[in-house]
Structure 1
């Protein structure tokens, strides 16, 4: 999740809470790609912007392979020259000598060809590395932008580890395949064609014997490729599950230890890890059969060629250098076939990974903004008019009507599951309404940009969010271009300046990723300072002082009163004693507003609020 999104959850917006669909269950993927060809073509589309570079890679691969293929033939000429000279001298031919000058020239030519081949190989690898990294860069950019456009319900319905697995593991697999396999595939194809031409030029008969192994190899490995595809897909799926489990157990390790659930967590890890091991073992074993099987078939062909070639040499139908070159070509011919088969296997797993990434890219996005109204700085009037909403088919909120005037402090109370957090999520437009409308200063919030809407709100939650960086940067996150004076004044207003200055590095103190090098209460003070710096016209407070001590709570409440002065404020209250002075108390139950009024008028009415209020104090008396 990007810093912008996280800020939306903490400073300018809220999390969906327990009401969201899915409850963290990760999306289970199919056992194999649902549409291999469609996914493969879509992956190739990312290479189109670099087609010219790919052509250069292809040309370099062809030239490198051609110069390499010519090597055995030239080596055969040298061997023939050496053999014929030695044979003539051995048989007593007058004046017969080995022409070492000629052999030296041939070997020099051979060395030159290999050097040129290596240079072209370097060029192809260099260009392809750029193509692969730029393609993966574009893919990551698309995924990151997609994550920005996904609604909150997507994150509520999936574990962070599952999403991270798609963004990291699956994309990395695509990158490594592009880097290593594309050039290998091109080289293999050119090598197969080039060697076939050279073999035909030496001996069509031996070429036919060599080619007999090709259909046998294809026939043998085809069912293996189909089987391995399923296991590689399973491997990626189980890897995503394992990442999700590890991420959850790591971030919640304190809760795991507090409830003594270490053994359960380890057992769940072992179960998923065992499934990953089993899928990986099967995938590697099945794919590993390809190499020895092709080598076995190739060795049979090699033996036949050696026998027939030896007979042809004795009959002087072919030179000894040519038979040596042909045997070398035969050994080289099976290698690119095997390599191509392995690449096909890698492509199967890569397409499975690509499909997972594309499924993320195809997720339903937030409804696009229809910017009819330009919201500069809202006055703070908020109206809920016949609002209906539900996470599924059943409506949680039905026909809600609420009018909040500029500068009013509205307290929202009710039992767990009443819809308090859901109401805030709708106000921030994290979820779309099923019916009705929410008006800001008389303007439909769906007809203004989300950015304008969410900049209108400042939010402080029970669950704090701070990113890895300095305390100064975390506070400054509330306002672009904030000055040092503004940051310090915001910290003073939130009563955070005092504890910040006691730290060794003060405002330059770096918070780690979990921000656990400061206390929970101190983290809450920093998020409050961030909201103070944002200076929004409307504030949302979700029991913001619940994590601080009594003395600090009093100071924060005083600061909040100054902060809320002249602003519209929504306060989700769990302790009813903290909202006695609210201008309006909205009592919710089962998604409906059942009572509205001031603290005194609701107590006099003797309804649900009075029962809720008295139950809290009765509990305190019992304690």
Structure 2
């Protein structure tokens, strides 16, 4: 957890103020038994009412100062803890934004969400406790023992016997609870994963009538978490009764042996009253520490998980001295590219070489799993190649800054992703200063202006999460319009026409050809009709290039392409 608390550097003045306030509160707590002893010995034993009232007023004043110090310390401590949570959330979010897709694959979105929310809340909670209890409790306990020793040395032996036993009990319980708290965090990840999949896949679940199956999955994860929580709480349940038993036994022992010493004249009644109060202070603060230890194991597990994310170095980094492209704008070239996913038995791409020039449309086609999407994901450097080079404007993408590289690319992913907000805000996502005319023009090219115009709010229509209030084809057209608004050097359409009907597809491609005449266009497609008019068709088969050429050339020279065409078009259409 010390790594996490290094983020509190900006709150050092606040922590110093808290230390002063806590020290003042401890002094007031320790001074009150001394005042009580004076009241008993001087006021009550001598029946001096004025002295009792005077010292009683002083006790109220001292207690009031302690209360004020405690309240202010808690307020400042809460602000520090909440501030730490904000810093950690911001750090995790910004760090995760730098991750390559490999790191996302390694962690998974569900655990990243849990670590950014639940884990940080655990740290915030324990930070408040540490600030307000971990500092105060030891100071009060040590001060109480010293002052109790001053009152009566013989009775202090009771503390020497009881406190080591309590510390041993706490250590044993914590050693059993710590591993289980780590399991709790992992099982929360599982709950989050099942819930997230259920919410995002609710249409599929209902369509396949798998609600019962999903309920069973959730119940299994929920019961697993519940069983672990019950086990942990059973262990922790021993802590408080043991501490309360120790408190009562200690106080009973003090009264027993103290009364013997008072009867023998070795100790006065005021000293015994003060000693009992010091014992109560010591035990109460041990209970406070024990309560903290209930939270510390979870916070420790949470801090390790957060540190794991923050200490994971992104694989894809900008070079120390980025090169600026001085070649032909929009020129894309693959040189003997090989790429494998982590843990894969064989490469996703092997020996891929081709070039795509400005003013031309390059289409990529192949069977499912042939590596089409993988190939275009290498252009904006979502992944780095294992061998070979991917060049944009004549410079290896690994030698360019990611920001500069991606500013040249208008990327339309296979799955259309839209964000909560208005249609206008979504279309301006790649170009903040886009005018209304540019947005309207891009929508017309993408064949989206028709359905947008039919909406009551038009371009001010608010989209639901993920664009759930739109059809698949509408989302794809808005995704295409978003790329067009940017007017980049390179357009990458990763199977972005799959949800469109043939008529809309044909109109959109015809409009695109006029709009993107000077740019480099790469189209990944499953339908032959989408790629037939391309200047260059690249056929992928099992991660390798099976052929490159025009439609007519591929029909003559590429068996794989002919098989794809014959599976989609009739002899009349081919003729």
Measured against the shorter chain, the TM-score band is over 0.9
* Deviation at residue 129 of structure 1 after TM alignment: 2.1
Equivalent position SS for 2:367: coil
Confirm or deny: 8 A CA contact 2:410 2:492 kept in the other structure.
yes
Deviation beyond 6 Å, 4+ runs, structure 1: none
CA distance in 1, matches of 2:6, 2:52: 50
Confirm or deny: 8 A CA contact 2:428 2:482 kept in the other structure.
yes
Structure 1 counterpart of 2:535? 583
User: Does residue 121 of structure 1 match 2:70?
Assistant: yes
Q: After the TM superposition, which residues 67-466 of structure 1 pair with which residues of structure 2 at under 5 Å, given as runs?
A: 67-85=28-46, 98-370=47-319, 371-375=321-325, 379-392=329-342, 394-466=346-418
Confirm or deny: 8 A CA contact 1:160 1:247 kept in the other structure.
no
CA distance in 2, matches of 1:304, 1:315: 17
Equivalent position SS for 1:565: coil
Q: Deviations over 1:490-529 (max 9, x none)?
A: 2233232332233222222221223212322222222121
Confirm or deny: 8 A CA contact 1:375 1:452 kept in the other structure.
no
* Deviation at residue 551 of structure 1 after TM alignment: 4.4
Confirm or deny: 8 A CA contact 2:7 2:84 kept in the other structure.
yes
* Deviation at residue 550 of structure 1 after TM alignment: 4.5
Structure 2 counterpart of 1:612? 564
Q: TM-score, normalised by structure 1?
A: 0.87
CA distance in 2, matches of 1:567, 1:43: 48
CA distance in 1, matches of 2:537, 2:380: 20
CA 1:405–1:551 in 2, change beyond 3 Å: closer, same or farther? closer
CA 1:581–1:618 in 2, change beyond 3 Å: closer, same or farther? closer
* Deviation at residue 268 of structure 1 after TM alignment: 1.6
CA distance in 2, matches of 1:543, 1:154: 25
Structure 2 counterpart of 1:488? 440
Equivalent position SS for 1:212: helix
CA 1:84–1:606 in 2, change beyond 3 Å: closer, same or farther? closer
CA distance in 1, matches of 2:177, 2:131: 20
CA distance in 1, matches of 2:164, 2:460: 69
Equivalent position SS for 2:318: coil
Equivalent position SS for 1:545: coil
CA 1:534–1:301 in 2, change beyond 3 Å: closer, same or farther? same
CA 1:466–1:284 in 2, change beyond 3 Å: closer, same or farther? same
CA distance in 2, matches of 1:45, 1:193: 28
Equivalent position SS for 1:306: helix
* Deviation at residue 569 of structure 1 after TM alignment: 0.7
CA distance in 2, matches of 1:577, 1:548: 12
Confirm or deny: 8 A CA contact 1:476 1:482 kept in the other structure.
yes
CA 1:124–1:606 in 2, change beyond 3 Å: closer, same or farther? closer
CA distance in 2, matches of 1:382, 1:286: 62
Q: 2:22 aligns with which of 54, 57, 61?
A: 61
Q: TM-score, normalised by structure 2?
A: 0.94
Equivalent position SS for 1:46: helix
Equivalent position SS for 2:466: coil
CA 1:265–1:618 in 2, change beyond 3 Å: closer, same or farther? farther
Confirm or deny: 8 A CA contact 1:503 1:509 kept in the other structure.
yes
User: Does residue 560 of structure 1 match 2:515?
Assistant: no
CA 1:619–1:257 in 2, change beyond 3 Å: closer, same or farther? farther
* Deviation at residue 378 of structure 1 after TM alignment: 6.1
Identify unmatched segments of 5+ residues in structure 2.
none
Q: RCO higher in 1 or 2 (8 Å CA, sep ≥ 6)?
A: 1
